[in-house]
């Protein structure tokens, strides 16, 4: 049975909690990671309203796994006496360093709020305080928290380190949702539980050959089936290869619910679909990446009825689940995703069986009944704002040793015209300088033969074009899939994004990167410095 993550809710405008960050050894030398709340809540959902304050005391209780107990040069004695102030400037040092990123929230990229470039909490440090206010105009929806130490994000997130943040009030944007029960479903990936198992035979379909890339990941077979690169879980219930025995989501017959679904995978794409007796059932998407679909006023009822939605790693969607009749057999699946010839194998598989039961437990959370129409953003719709700059960035990768195609891959994201090199934490110069108050167009090209997911901290953006073709999307994103290159076309695949730097809190230095965390850890990251608006800058040119 799939159960909801426990919730911690704000009271009188404040949510204060401690999260202990712990790890355990599991079979095969792998590590599992988890956040644990004051009363033992595992990976709790943090629920706040716009304007509420979050005070989160992060305790790093990681310990070295047996195979790492040999002395580590970086874990020297000078770590003793590491203070809170040091944690703001330490930078990531070891696999046991950690910090938190609040993905999607428009909060400042400064220490104790959403800085990830310098903040690093070490095992044995006193609790490190995150303390910030959810902006009063933050869009109501699904956000999340996860560690963001460069070089070690992949291992920690793949080990389970993630949790949801719900900014309450989505029913204010949608009268239709008032009072509905709601569910939170978090999809995570992890190394295969049965890596040596043979696929379960599916009729006379030949079993695809397993090939691996330089990182040891199972390559896309191009067939939609075969051994996956990672196993998936839903709310920590594993759905393991090769049998994919599904967990059960129990619902009352024909009960409508709001489902908040997050792909917290480190590297796995999902393409979510609900099947009722093998026929796709439409679901009503009301929000993507935490922002309701209500911005350009061109979508009737501001609900997008879809029969499947692709979520790259870090993507979220909230949708109206229509319910199923008693006795119906339904399943929540991911369709296969073609990640490109150099991408991982993400085959079709079931995530959960949906069962309509008269005695299904009532979900623990319901949306508020009273619906007040929220005021929309005072700023003009992004599509109608003229960009101050147009920049081109591109994803690229190559073997670290050009003479050895099997050497580990170097991953890069480069501003066109600059020297292509992987992210270097020691480099003090940002790759891009922009101004608060501006809007910019960024064209993100993919010059590799696998998918990448472009993400930028602090802001949302509007996709204007897909492979050079204009699209008219009535929603914003903070993470977007960029299609792969076929290896011969003269034009690289691309997305054109309108980046929104108009929020007054969008100031300072923060990263953009691929959200396939193996790629990010491998160097596919850059930084942007957002300065005060030109007319407010200290004058130095006169
Ligand atoms: Cu990538």
Task: For residue 166, give the H/E element and its range.
Answer: strand 163-167
Q: Are residues 134 and 81 in the same domain?
A: yes
> Taking the mean position of all CA atoms in its chain, how far away is CA 94?
23
> Taking the mean position of all CA atoms in its chain, how far away is CA 134?
19
CA 322 to centroid of ligand 1, rounded, Å: 34
CA 380 to centroid of ligand 1, rounded, Å: 32
CATH number of the domain residue 78 falls in:
2.60.40.420
CA 223 to centroid of ligand 1, rounded, Å: 21
pLDDT of res. 78: 44
CA 202 to centroid of ligand 1, rounded, Å: 31
Q: Is residue 202 part of a domain?
A: no
Nearest to 252 by CA among 321, 176, 308, 307: 321
Q: Are residues 161 and 271 in the same domain?
A: no
> Taking the mean position of all CA atoms in its chain, how far away is CA 478?
9
Q: Are residues 452 and 470 in the same domain?
A: yes
pTM: 0.94
CA 182 to centroid of ligand 1, rounded, Å: 32
Q: Is residue 221 part of a domain?
A: yes
pLDDT bracket for residue 105 (50, 70, 90) = very high
Task: Lowest mean pLDDT of 10-19, 20-29, 174-183, 275-284, name the range.
Answer: 20-29
Q: Are residues 64 and 160 in the same domain?
A: yes
Task: Give φ, ψ of 28 to 5 degrees.
Answer: 75, 20
Q: Are 242 and 194 in contact (CB under 8 A)?
A: yes
CA-CA-CA-CA dihedral for 217, 393, 100, 67, to nearest 10: 30
Percent of the chain with pLDDT over 90: 80
Q: Is residue 203 part of a domain?
A: no
CA 66 to centroid of ligand 1, rounded, Å: 31
Q: Are residues 339 and 307 in the same domain?
A: yes
Q: Is residue 371 part of a domain?
A: no
Mean pLDDT, residues 217-245? 94
Q: Are residues 311 and 414 in the same domain?
A: no
Q: How far is Cα 140 from Cα 296, in angstroms, rounded to an integer?
A: 17
Q: Are residues 24 and 152 in the same domain?
A: yes
Q: Is residue 377 part of a domain?
A: no
CA 450 to centroid of ligand 1, rounded, Å: 8
305: its two tokens: 């009825």
CA 515 to centroid of ligand 1, rounded, Å: 6
Q: Are residues 51 and 70 in the same domain?
A: yes
181: its two tokens: 């029960």
Q: What are the tens digits of pLDDT across the range 508-536?
A: 999 999 999 999 999 999 999 999 987 77
Higher pLDDT, 379 or 457: 457
334: its two tokens: 């991911």
Sign of CA dihedral 374, 380, 382, 384: positive
Residue 353's SS3 state is strand
Q: How far is Cα 60 from Cα 86, in angstroms, rounded to an integer?
A: 15
Q: Are residues 230 and 329 in the same domain?
A: yes
Q: Are residues 289 and 187 in the same domain?
A: yes
Q: Is residue 73 part of a domain?
A: yes
The CA distances from residue 371 to 165, 176, 260, 322, in Å, are: 21, 9, 19, 20
Q: What are the tens digits of pLDDT across the range 471-498?
A: 989 899 999 999 999 999 999 999 999 9
CB atoms < 10 A from the CB of 148, how many?
27
CA 451 to centroid of ligand 1, rounded, Å: 6
Name the residue range of residue 304's domain. 176-197+210-366
Beta-carbon contacts of residue 538 (< 8 Å; ≥ 6 apart): none
Q: Are residues 274 and 300 in the same domain?
A: yes
pLDDT of res. 75: 41
Task: Give φ, ψ of 155 to 5 degrees.
Answer: -65, -40
Q: Are residues 163 and 193 in the same domain?
A: no
Q: Is residue 358 part of a domain?
A: yes
């Amino acid at each position: 049975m799939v159960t909801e993550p426990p919730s911690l809710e704000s009271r009188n405008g404040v949510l204060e909690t401690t999260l202990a960050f712990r790890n355990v050894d599991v079979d095969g030398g792998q590590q599992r990671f988890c956040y644990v709340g004051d009363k033992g809540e595992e990976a709790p959902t943090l629920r706040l309203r716009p304007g509420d304050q979050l005070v989160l005391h992060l305790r790093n209780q990681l310990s070295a796994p047996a195979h790492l107990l040999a002395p580590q040069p970086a874990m020297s004695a000078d770590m003793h006496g590491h203070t809170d102030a040091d944690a703001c400037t330490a930078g990531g040092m070891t696999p046991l360093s950690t910090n938190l990123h609040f993905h999607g929230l428009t909060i400042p990229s400064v220490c104790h709020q959403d800085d990830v470039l310098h903040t690093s909490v070490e095992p044995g440090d006193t609790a490190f305080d995150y303390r910030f206010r959810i902006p009063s105009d933050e869009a109501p929806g699904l956000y999340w928290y996860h560690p963001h130490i460069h070089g070690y994000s992949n291992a920690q997130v793949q080990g389970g380190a993630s949790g949801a943040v719900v900014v309450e009030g989505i029913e204010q944007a949608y009268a239709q949702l008032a009072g509905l029960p709601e569910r939170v479903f978090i999809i995570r990936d992890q190394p295969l539980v049965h890596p040596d198992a043979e696929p379960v035979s599916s009729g006379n379909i030949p079993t695809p050959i397993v090939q691996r890339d330089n990182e040891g990941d199972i390559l896309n077979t191009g067939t939609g089936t075969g051994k996956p690169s990672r196993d998936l879980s839903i709310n920590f219930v594993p759905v393991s290869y090769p049998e994919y025995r599904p967990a059960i989501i129990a619902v009352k017959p024909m009960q409508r619910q709001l489902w908040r679904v997050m792909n917290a995978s480190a590297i796995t794409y999902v393409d979510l679909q609900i099947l009722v007796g093998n026929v796709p059932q439409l679901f009503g998407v009301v929000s993507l990446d935490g922002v309701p679909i209500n911005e350009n006023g061109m979508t009737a009822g501001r609900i997008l009825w879809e029969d499947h939605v692709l979520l790259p790693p870090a993507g979220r969607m909230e949708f109206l689940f229509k319910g199923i009749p008693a006795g119906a057999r339904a399943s929540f699946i991911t369709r296969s995703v073609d990640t490109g010839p150099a991408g991982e194998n993400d085959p079709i598989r079931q995530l959960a069986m949906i069962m309509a039961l008269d005695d299904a437990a009532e979900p623990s959370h319901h949306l508020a009944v009273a619906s007040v129409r929220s005021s929309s953003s005072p700023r003009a719709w992004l599509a109608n704002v003229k960009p101050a700059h147009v920049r081109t960035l591109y994803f690229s990768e190559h073997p670290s040793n050009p003479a050895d195609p099997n050497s580990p891959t170097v991953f890069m994201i480069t501003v066109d015209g600059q020297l292509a090199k992987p992210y270097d934490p020691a480099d003090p110069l940002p790759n891009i300088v922009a101004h608060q108050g501006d809007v910019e167009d960024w064209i993100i090209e993919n010059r590799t033969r696998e998918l990448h997911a472009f993400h930028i901290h602090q802001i949302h953006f509007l996709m204007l074009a897909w492979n050079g073709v204009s699209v008219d999307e009535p929603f914003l994103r903070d993470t977007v899939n960029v299609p792969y290159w076929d290896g011969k076309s003269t034009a690289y695949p691309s997305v054109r994004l309108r980046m929104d730097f108009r929020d007054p809190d969008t100031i300072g230095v923060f990263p953009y990167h691929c959200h396939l965390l193996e790629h990010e850890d491998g160097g596919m990251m850059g930084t942007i410095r957002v300065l005060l608006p030109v007319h407010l800058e200290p004058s130095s040119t006169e």
